[in-house]
Structure 1
Amino acid sequence: MGIQDIIEGKKQWRAHMARVKALPQDYQIVYKEMQRYLFKVGPIDLPDGPLLPGIVEFFEEGVAAGKGVLQLTGNDVAAFCDDLVKDSPTFAEVYQQSISGERGTAEK
């Protein structure tokens, strides 16, 4: 990874966060909690994958439709997040596989 890749990644992240900041306050709060939760459960492709931008797009559509954020996610936001990443390999799974001796199963 070169310096240009790092700079481009930062530009993309800043643009992504600008979209988040354009959302209503309640959406921003839920997004930040979702982001915090997802970084803890650790889907491997979270930083570079389509999940976080997809959530922002989903929220933007909800705002445009005049819906409240909990109408989109439900009251259990953690369960909503778990459903989003249920088929994604996580760092915990990769670690468990590495210590149990399984090879290649984390790469889906």
Structure 2
Amino acid sequence: MGIHDIIEGKKQWRAHMARFKALPSDYQIVYKEIQRYFFKVGPVGLADGSLLSGIVDFFEEGVAAGKGVLELIGNDVAAFCDDLIKDSRTYSDVYQESISGKPGTAEQ
């Protein structure tokens, strides 16, 4: 990863955070909880940024439709998050595979 990639990633993150800060406060609270949950669980796809930006897109559509955040995701934030990443690998999965001794899994 070169300096250009780092700078570009920082620009994208700042733009993402500006979109997040434009959301109503109830959406911001739920987004922070989702973000905290994903950082703990560690889905592998989180690093590319599309998962969190997709959630902001979804929330922006909900705001435009005049819906409350809990109308969109339900009352259980963790269940909503689990549904989003149910078919995704987590860093925990990658680690478990690397120590399991299965041939060919340690390099992944």
CA distance in 1, matches of 2:48, 2:14: 13
**TM-score, normalised on structure 1?**
0.93
> Does the aligned pair in 2 maintain the 1:37–1:78 contact within 8 Å?
yes
Distance change (3 Å), C-alpha of 1:55 and 1:106: farther
Question: What is the DSSP-based 3-state SS (H/G/I as helix, E as strand, rest coil) of the residue aligned with 2:83?
Answer: helix
CA distance in 1, matches of 2:9, 2:76: 31
**Aligned AA for 1:80?**
F
CA distance in 2, matches of 1:36, 1:83: 16
**Aligned AA for 2:30?**
V
CA displacement at 1:9 relative to structure 2: 0.2
CA distance in 2, matches of 1:96, 1:9: 29
CA displacement at 1:105 relative to structure 2: 9.4
Give 1 or 2: higher helix fraction.
2
Matching of residue 54 in structure 1 with residue 17 in structure 2: no
CA displacement at 1:104 relative to structure 2: 4.1
**Aligned AA for 2:79?**
A
Distance change (3 Å), C-alpha of 1:61 and 1:17: same
CA distance in 1, matches of 2:95, 2:67: 39
Alignment correspondent of 1:2: 2
Alignment correspondent of 1:99: 99
**Aligned AA for 2:93?**
E
Question: What is the DSSP-based 3-state SS (H/G/I as helix, E as strand, rest coil) of the residue aligned with 2:96?
Answer: helix
Q: How many residues align?
A: 107
Matching of residue 85 in structure 1 with residue 89 in structure 2: no
Residue identity over aligned pairs, in percent, reads: 77
List gaps (5 residues or longer) in structure 1.
Answer: none
**Aligned AA for 1:73?**
I
**TM-score, normalised on structure 2?**
0.93
> Does the aligned pair in 2 maintain the 1:89–1:106 contact within 8 Å?
no
Alignment correspondent of 1:72: 72
